[in-house]
Amino acid sequence: MNIEFREKLITTLCAASLFSLTLFLFGPLYLYFTNISEFPYYILDVWYLFASISLVCILLISAILLPLKKSLYQKAVSLLFAVAVLLWIQGNILVWNYGLLNGREIEWNNYKVFGYIDTSVWLVIITFAFIKSSLVYNLIKKISLGLILIQIASVSIACFQAPKQPDWKMYSLSEDSKYDFSPDKNVIILVLDTFQTDIFMELINEYPDLRGTFEGFTYFRNAVGGFPTTELSIPLILTGRSYDNSVPLETFKKNAYLSSIPYILKQNSFQVNLYTDKNFIYCNENIASNIIQKRELVSNKDIIANMYNITLFRYVPHFIKKDFNVVNGLTKELNLTNGDLDFAQKIVTQPNTKSEKYTFKFYHLWGTHPPFSLNSNLEPTKLEFNRNGYKTQAKAALEITKRFLASLKNIGIYDNSMIFIVGDHGAGVAGSFGLNTEASGYKEENSSSNIISDNTITSGLPLILVKTFNSNGDLKISDAPVSTSDIPKTIVSELGLNYDYPGCSMFAVKESDIRERRFLEYKWGNDNKPDLSGLKEYIVTGFSWLKKSWRPTYRLFTPEGIKDSRPPVYEYGSEIKFGIGGNAKSYQFDGWSHPEEGFTRTNGKSASLIIPINQPQFDLTLEVILTPFISGEVEKQCVDICINSEKLGEFEITKTDKIKMVIPKKYITDSLLNITFNLPNAVSWVILSILSHQSGQSEPAFRFRMSHYSG
């Protein structure tokens, strides 16, 4: 081997290795270790797949490049090296925040600036590599080896810092007897994820025939859930107990599930089967009959396809990312409703009465969780991310429910089954789809000082339908104040089992009862996962759809104990800061995302602040410095500023500008100041600061810094 060829071989291997290892090995490994609980498999079982693909890619690229003529070879290997460097830059430096990946599709037009930045960087580096290929060629070995070592170090650090592998990865949920029922007695819970109760009321009002589907059921519309997302809602439904941060979550699950409804019924000779994500339960053979200590089998093909889909989403430039479907975290299937369609088919063809024991079945379906992709005929359809799309998906969920109930009737077990059809929570976190209070016949009272967010309320309003044993007749509607935490107590009461669960049997609660129900709210963190570091407590007394029924206790449940989260009375002249480390969170009401470095994004067409104040002696002057982000066809940003529901200012912003307006003292009617920024045509804009002071005074009363993003 001559020196020239050896030099060529080494340079080629360096460029090919940087490209292949970055994309096919280091990228997947880093994503795995930084999201270890999102993947159902162990990396030790599959790492060789990524390593083998990387090696094959290195050899294939080398085989293509080495035979090329010198002039063509030098440009080709320089361009390959440039692309490899760009992949590393894109995946580690140009990592953009696309908002909450909660099922809704990314509004790509709102992030075109990311595309312009990415495109500029890629064009500059690729052009430079092409024009100055001889210079780039001489740098390939050193830079490639350097970046490979950096990635080895970063993956090693991520591996070292990764949390312990969750215990549920050692278990599987068998589906062998998924549709086997007892001819004598069955208790069934069907969870329709994210199904909000007012949508059901609206649908049965519009389609009266739907009521006939629910023969013998009681619709408890005055219901409250315990938490805003599935993470803690499923444990609440099955155990009746609320997580309060007093112990680590996994410890809570273990303790709670070892006295849960599945556990108690299994001890009472029931065949118990749970069909949900394993990370929502405590996996133990004493909890359910279908929990087996065996690693879940995930096909290598699915692992590779899923992981490289996620990796490419992170490592390619903005305008190409839309080709990779990452709409709901990391490990969801491309068609997230496939499980529901499979259930809809098999519940018709496979149900039987072969079980020799009484049975308990817990089915957790996708339901009305975004993305919305099923119409009422169960045909895959891309639906808009709005209330109409949500409602259409709800019709699909009820069609599946209709087929499920019909199948139970066909095999003769409908009458001797107790059936719960519930949402685990409402849609507040998933999206701002509103609340149709009028569908209930109640009327909402407008109050400028109401300090409960619409998203908070809607996330706590799940559907609850219950049919007890041998119940018949038309669908009944009850306004008894109930909660999803009452489900275990209701089951043991109807079965006559002597077990003292928290809560009440729903059928023992009267509509006239005055009852306090608890809802604990948490937000989503920067990593698109629930942030359970602080659980904010609300007490609901009265009809749950009404804001006046909700009351914050200002108790914040943290791992360090219960803290008082009451916002301090604003001191005129003091500063309110947004972003990480700021104090604005205490005053944020509706329309805000999680804090980031130096700013906080808003999320929607409006953003509000509720600020406790002392009654001012003078009018207030509000001074706002706005910097809009103009995108696409939007040439200006419209901003309406409302004070305690009164619109006092309407502005059009095309560049960084200062706005000054007076807040007349007569509009400040109580001890809470509600400042709302309505953004009718918002795409993305930034509020640099907002200043307010009492007229006649020289010092500003308060300052904010905030950033706006609207999907």
We report the CATH number of the domain holding residue 506 as: 3.40.720.10
For 368-427, the three-class secondary structure string (H helix, E strand, C coil) is CCCCCCECCCCCECCCCCCHHHHHHHHHHHHHHHHHHHHHHHHCCCCCCEEEEEECCCCC
pLDDT single digits (tens) 280-315:
999 999 999 999 988 776 777 778 888 888 899 899
3-class state of residue 710 by DSSP: coil
Q: What is the pLDDT of residue 682?
A: 64
Q: Both 546 and 643 in a single domain?
A: no
Q: Which of 609, 607, 583 is nearest to 595 (CA)?
A: 583
Q: Both 160 and 178 in a single domain?
A: no
Among 64-78, 197-211, 339-353, 611-625, where is mean pLDDT lowest? Answer: 611-625
Q: What band does 368 get if pLDDT is binned at 50, 70 and 90?
A: very high
**Within a 10 A sphere around the Cβ of 16, how many other Cβ atoms?**
26
Altogether, the residues listed in the chain come to a count of 711
Q: What is the pLDDT of residue 305?
A: 84
CA distance 325 to 577: 36
Is residue 466 in a domain? yes
Q: Both 249 and 373 in a single domain?
A: yes
CA distance 529 to 549: 29
Among 226-235, 302-311, 356-365, where is mean pLDDT lowest? Answer: 302-311
In the predicted model, what is the mean pLDDT of residues 238-247?
A: 96
CA atoms in the 13 A half-sphere facing the CB of 599:
14
In the predicted model, what is the mean pLDDT of residues 619-637?
A: 71
Q: Of 301-310, 415-424, 634-643, 672-681, which one has max mean pLDDT?
A: 415-424
Is residue 309 in a domain? no
pLDDT at 121 over 90: yes
CA distance 80 to 126: 9
Q: What is the pLDDT of residue 329?
A: 46
Percent of the chain with pLDDT over 70: 89
At 476, the amino acid letter reads K
Q: Which of 687, 542, 700, 559 is nearest to 624 (CA)?
A: 687
Q: Both 531 and 579 in a single domain?
A: no
Alpha helices in 22-172 (DSSP H): 27-34, 43-65, 70-92, 112-131, 133-161
Beta bridge partners of 708: 685
With beta carbons less than 8 A apart as the criterion, state whether 197 and 455 touch. Answer: no
Q: Which of 683, 663, 662 is nearest to 673 (CA)?
A: 663
In eight-state DSSP terms, residue 93 is T
Q: What is the pLDDT of residue 447?
A: 54
| Segments forming the whole domain that contains residue 151 | 3-165
Tell me which of 165, 199, 217 is where a domain ends. 165
Q: What band does 371 get if pLDDT is binned at 50, 70 and 90?
A: confident
Q: Both 542 and 656 in a single domain?
A: no
pLDDT at 327 over 60: no
Tell me which of 131, 146, 165 is where a domain ends. 165
In eight-state DSSP terms, residue 603 is B
In the predicted model, what is the mean pLDDT of residues 132-139?
A: 90
Q: Both 226 and 346 in a single domain?
A: yes
Q: What is the pLDDT of residue 706?
A: 34
Among 167-176, 392-401, 550-559, 698-707, where is mean pLDDT lowest? Answer: 698-707
With beta carbons less than 8 A apart as the criterion, state whether 71 and 137 touch. Answer: no
**Within a 10 A sphere around the Cβ of 695, how many other Cβ atoms?**
14
Would you call 451 exposed, middle or buried from its count of C-beta atoms within 10 A (0-12, 13-18, 19+)?
middle
Q: What is the pLDDT of residue 692?
A: 52
Is residue 306 in a domain? no
CA distance 37 to 673: 42
Residues with Cβ < 8 Å from 597, sequence gap 6 or more? 579, 580
Instruction: Report the relative pairing of strands 646-653 and 657-663 from DSSP bridges.
Output: unpaired
Beta bridge partners of 231: none
Q: Both 69 and 181 in a single domain?
A: no
Q: What is the pLDDT of residue 583?
A: 82
Among 265-269, 530-534, 677-681, where is mean pLDDT lowest? Answer: 677-681
Question: Residue 599 belongs to a domain with what CATH number?
Answer: 2.60.120.260
Q: What is the pLDDT of residue 676?
A: 86
What does pTM read for this prediction?
0.82
In the predicted model, what is the mean pLDDT of residues 457-467?
A: 96
Q: Which of 601, 676, 607 is nearest to 111 (CA)?
A: 601
How distant is the alpha carbon of residue 612 from its chain centre? 31
Tell me which of 165, 188, 210 is where a domain ends. 165
What does the buried/exposed string (b/e) look like for 428-442 if buried means 16 or more CB atoms within 10 Å of the residue's CB? bbbbbbebbbebbee
Is residue 561 in a domain? no
CA distance 394 to 58: 49
For the chain, the average pLDDT equals: 86
Angle separating helix axes 249-257 and 230-239, nearest 10 degrees: 20
**Between these two residues, 373 and 540, which has the higher pLDDT value?**
540
Would you call 654 exposed, middle or buried from its count of C-beta atoms within 10 A (0-12, 13-18, 19+)?
exposed
Alpha helices in 552-681 (DSSP H): none
Q: What is the pLDDT of residue 700?
A: 36
pLDDT single digits (tens) 557-604:
999 999 988 888 887 767 777 778 888 878 887 777 777 776 777 766
Is residue 705 in a domain? yes
Is residue 558 in a domain? no
CA distance 430 to 603: 12
With beta carbons less than 8 A apart as the criterion, state whether 406 and 349 touch. Answer: no
Residues with Cβ < 8 Å from 359, sequence gap 6 or more? 180, 181, 182, 185, 186, 187, 270, 271, 272, 273
Rounded to a whole number of angstroms, the distance between the first and last alpha carbons of the chain is 59
Q: What band does 419 get if pLDDT is binned at 50, 70 and 90?
A: very high
Would you call 614 exposed, middle or buried from its count of C-beta atoms within 10 A (0-12, 13-18, 19+)?
exposed
Q: Both 24 and 160 in a single domain?
A: yes
Q: What band does 701 get if pLDDT is binned at 50, 70 and 90?
A: very low
Q: Both 517 and 579 in a single domain?
A: no
Q: Both 98 and 204 in a single domain?
A: no
Q: Both 481 and 589 in a single domain?
A: no
Is residue 342 in a domain? yes
pLDDT single digits (tens) 468-497:
999 999 999 999 999 999 999 999 999 999
CA distance 523 to 508: 34
Is residue 300 in a domain? no
Q: Both 393 and 425 in a single domain?
A: yes
In the predicted model, what is the mean pLDDT of residues 31-59?
A: 90
How distant is the alpha carbon of residue 90 from its chain centre? 25
What does the buried/exposed string (b/e) look like for 507-520 if buried means 16 or more CB atoms within 10 Å of the residue's CB? bebeeeeebebbbb
Angle separating helix axes 70-92 and 133-161, nearest 10 degrees: 30
Structural domain count, the chain: 3
Q: What is the pLDDT of residue 58?
A: 95
Sign of CA dihedral 453, 454, 459, 463: positive
Does the N-terminal peptide bond of residue 380 adopt cis geometry, omega within 30 degrees of 0? no
Tokens 């200062």 locate to 658
